[in-house]
Amino acid sequence: MIVKRGSVVSHAVAMEWGIGKVVEVNDIRATIRFNDGIVRKIISSHFTDLKPADPASYHPPEKEVAMTKTRSSKAKTARKPAKQKKSVSSAL
């Protein structure tokens, strides 16, 4: 199958994802929005797992599930300064 933008596909191995629509494709991967609301990136070596689907069977999800990574609140706080070593002076 030739994967191109706008194609409607299903994933032969992960049928629970539902039907997806290709929103972006390049030499490395395709970005596909599936019926379950998740946008997945499929690497080109797995394009053989994608099968053409009936365009009428694709229904965009009503509520989009965000797949963004966020930093924890700890990463945003200032770090404590490192403890300084006390110099040991020897008495001669």
Over its C-alpha atoms, the chain yields an Rg (Å, rounded) of: 24
Classify domain 1-42+55-60 by CATH architecture.
Roll (2.30)
Decide the pairing of beta strands 19-25 and 8-11.
antiparallel
Please state, as a whole number, how many other Cβ atoms lie within 10 Å of the Cβ of residue 36.
Answer: 14
* Nearest of 11, 18, 19 to residue 43 by alpha carbon: 11
| 92 residues of the chain, pLDDT tens digit each | 789 999 999 999 999 999 999 999 999 999 999 988 899 999 999 999 999 999 999 888 776 555 555 555 555 556 666 777 776 665 55
* pTM for this model (two decimals): 0.65
